[in-house]
């Protein structure tokens, strides 16, 4: 243990039904008088949006500005457009509301506010100044983007998703209000919940020394196992919704270690075929577990325990992979890429794109393009 490790857990989190009421704390603590609300158009019709508008109107009557044009897989152009709204509105803070896309775009906007003349790819990530204050309010329970320090943005010129990250990008405050997730339909509840599960599992087996993250990852795995089926079958179950929000935030805290090959396989499925991110992860995850477990048969022993295996004996890899397949089935998740209109002949192109994705570099087992293609083939 000769290397010096660096741990950070700084996000100010407010959790509980009605936690959105603390927006006034955010305004007071950071002196925010004209925030830009960053969200996506899909949210405008939801109960979560109406609940938040009521709070925004109370805290910043007639002074906040709304930007609701973030795309499901946000692009650098979305961030440019948000910056235009921010500067025209003479804003002094950011409230990000939505799933990972809106929160990622909101976080990337903070870079533009600091360096309006630079493209996202040109930002000085190693020497960022303090950024404009941001409050992150998730309306799903999966990405954990509210406690993240990176944004996944599609750079149109490069034709792929790029991860921009640095500790100053973490939001000053995260508001986890399960009442904002009550309206999430069962399929999205399942997909986003499996994103959280994938974060926690990939983070746990990622070969980076971070025992604090490891503990958080294992508890997140346990919480998703316990509460995702309940949130899926009864969307009004406030306890299950609340614990899923906590688990999602914990999964994202854990993956400051890094992720693995499941995310590298998932990213091109979303950018090329618009497969929902959590769904893509859910489908590939059992296969990635088997792949990684071939190199280390004990890699998933503690994951198995967190998933409820009474006594992992020898072959926890198969146990975990089988459990995850069955868990997917129990929450209505398809097991096959062919069911999602992904043509088999496109798999080599997807494998090439997956290799360009950085997540697999921290996978516990080295993964070649041929491995990627084989994994895609198994899931097809």
State the nearest-atom distance from the C-beta of 126 to Fe ion, in Å. 25
**Count of other CB atoms within 10 angstroms of residue 141:** 33
The CA distance from 136 to 38, in Å, is 10
**Spatial contact of 270 and 276, defined as CB atoms under 8 Å apart:** yes
**Spatial contact of 304 and 319, defined as CB atoms under 8 Å apart:** yes
195 versus 214: smaller Cβ distance to Fe ion: 195
Report which residue's Cβ sits closest to Fe ion. Answer: 195
State the nearest-atom distance from the C-beta of 213 to Fe ion, in Å. 15
The CA distance from 52 to 6, in Å, is 36
User: By rule CB under 5 A, what count of residues binds Fe ion?
Assistant: 1
93 versus 99: smaller Cβ distance to Fe ion: 99
State the nearest-atom distance from the C-beta of 171 to Fe ion, in Å. 17
Among 104, 177, 195, 214, binds Fe ion (CB under 5 A): 195
Q: Applying CB under 5 A, which part among 20-28, 167-175, 188-196, 358-366 lies near Fe ion?
A: 188-196
104 versus 195: smaller Cβ distance to Fe ion: 195
Q: Collapsing DSSP states into helix, strand and coil, what is residue 357?
A: coil
State the nearest-atom distance from the C-beta of 277 to Fe ion, in Å. 6
95 versus 197: smaller Cβ distance to Fe ion: 197
The edge-to-edge listing of strands for the beta sheet with 65-67 is: 12-15, 173-176, 134-138, 93-98, 35-38, 65-67
19 versus 70: smaller Cβ distance to Fe ion: 70
40 versus 195: smaller Cβ distance to Fe ion: 195
Q: Does 76 bind Fe ion (CB under 5 A)?
A: no
Q: Applying CB under 5 A, which part among 127-135, 162-170, 190-198, 320-328 lies near Fe ion?
A: 190-198
State the nearest-atom distance from the C-beta of 144 to Fe ion, in Å. 8
Beta pairing class for 65-67 and 35-38: parallel
State the nearest-atom distance from the C-beta of 251 to Fe ion, in Å. 8
Residues of this chain, 119-158, that bind Fe ion according to CB under 5 A: none
Q: In the chain, where does DSSP find H-type helix?
A: 23-30, 47-59, 76-88, 100-114, 186-205, 211-233, 238-254, 261-273, 277-293, 301-306, 316-330, 347-356, 369-379
Binding site for Fe ion (CB under 5 A): 195
């Amino acid at each position: 243990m000769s290397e010096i490790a660096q741990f950070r857990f700084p996000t100010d989190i407010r959790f509980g039904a009605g936690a959105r009421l603390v927006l006034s704390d955010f305004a007071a603590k950071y002196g925010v008088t004209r925030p830009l609300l960053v969200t996506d158009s899909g949210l405008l019709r939801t109960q979560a949006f109406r609940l938040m508008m009521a709070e925004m109107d109370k805290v910043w009557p007639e002074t906040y500005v709304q930007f609701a044009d973030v795309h499901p897989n946000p692009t650098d152009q979305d961030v440019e457009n948000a910056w235009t709204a921010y500067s025209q509105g003479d804003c002094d803070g950011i409230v990000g509301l939505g799933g990972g896309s809106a929160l990622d775009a909101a976080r990337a906007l903070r870079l533009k506010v600091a360096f309006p003349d630079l493209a996202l790819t040109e930002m000085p990530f190693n020497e960022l100044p303090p950024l404009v204050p941001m409050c992150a309010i998730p309306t799903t329970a999966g990405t954990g983007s509210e406690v993240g320090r990176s944004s996944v943005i599609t750079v149109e010129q490069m034709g792929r998703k790029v991860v921009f990250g640095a500790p100053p990008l973490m939001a000053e405050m995260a508001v986890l209000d399960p009442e904002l997730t009550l309206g999430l339909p069962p399929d999205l509840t399942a997909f986003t919940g499996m994103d959280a599960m994938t974060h926690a599992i990939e983070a746990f087996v990622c070969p980076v020394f971070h025992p604090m993250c490891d503990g958080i990852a294992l508890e997140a795995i346990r919480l998703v196992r316990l509460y995702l089926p309940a949130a899926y079958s009864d969307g009004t179950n406030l306890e299950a919704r609340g614990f899923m929000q906590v688990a999602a935030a914990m999964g994202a805290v854990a993956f400051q270690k890094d992720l693995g090959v499941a995310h590298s396989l998932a990213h091109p499925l979303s950018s090329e075929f618009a497969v929902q991110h959590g769904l893509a992860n859910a489908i590939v995850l059992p296969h990635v577990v088997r792949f990684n477990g071939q190199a280390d048969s004990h890699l998933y022993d503690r994951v198995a325990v967190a998933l409820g295996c009474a006594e992992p004996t020898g072959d926890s890899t198969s146990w975990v992979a089988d459990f995850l397949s069955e868990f997917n089935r129990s929450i209505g998740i398809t097991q096959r890429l062919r069911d999602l209109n992904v043509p088999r002949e496109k798999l080599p192109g997807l494998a090439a794109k997956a290799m360009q994705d950085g997540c697999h570099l921290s996978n516990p087992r080295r993964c070649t393009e041929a491995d990627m293609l084989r994994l895609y083939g198994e899931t097809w």
